Amino acid sequence: MMKLRSLAGVATVAIAACATPPDPRREAEATLQRSFRAQGQAGVDRLQQDALQRACSQPDAPPPAEAERLQATEVATIVWPKDGVYLGDWREGEKLAQNGRGMTWTDPAGSANGGSCYNCHRIGPAEISYGTIGPSLVGYGKLRGVTDPASPASADVVRYTWGKLWDSKATNACSAMPRFGHLLTEAQIRDLMALLLDPKSPVNR
């Protein structure tokens, strides 16, 4: 009788184990590990998530208190121009915004990355094909009253825009926008700043 009860207990545990649903997150992580391999400059280390990425990969958005904590951490990573120069060349910024290359296994290591801004935003009024994941950037500086980016009246807009480009997660933890401070050089970010804020830029014409 004791032996039968023991066997029954083992069977019950086995059935319960089979009834436990698989963890979809672990299954997804395992699938990624099986499906990707290092090639060229693209390594499997790119699958490793930081705390913010892990929080924003959950089915539900992080609670407000956690989102604020994550954003505060991101704010601390923003690097502001030491020389106080925020704007570069809008012509180079336009090329950068329309460039989707960079960081793929076919791109030479060390080559300049593109901004891929066109994938998510409408950049200029002449465009008829553009992404809609992000808001339109047409008139970005003009709509915010930036007639002279160097004027004290424009300082808040200029600083906000730099921070948004450098690390969009600093103002919206789970923003779909990349943290360009990780992807572009400071000179490139200056050129994008000029594209958005220079009154002569096609964005503001």
Question: Which pLDDT value is given to residue 18?
Answer: 58
Nearest to 25 by CA among 54, 4, 46, 5: 54
Q: Taking the domain 90-197, which CATH number applies?
A: 1.10.760.10
Nearest to 104 by CA among 167, 41, 49: 41
Question: Which pLDDT value is given to residue 19?
Answer: 62
Question: Which pLDDT value is given to residue 2?
Answer: 47
In the chain, domain spans: 2-60, 90-197
Each residue's pLDDT tens digit, 60-98? 999 999 999 999 999 999 999 999 999 999 999 999 999
Question: Which pLDDT value is given to residue 4?
Answer: 47
Each residue's pLDDT tens digit, 107-120? 888 889 999 999 99
Which pair of structure tokens corresponds to residue 94?
Answer: 């336009």
- Residues of the chain with pLDDT below 70 are 1-20
Question: Which pLDDT value is given to residue 127?
Answer: 87
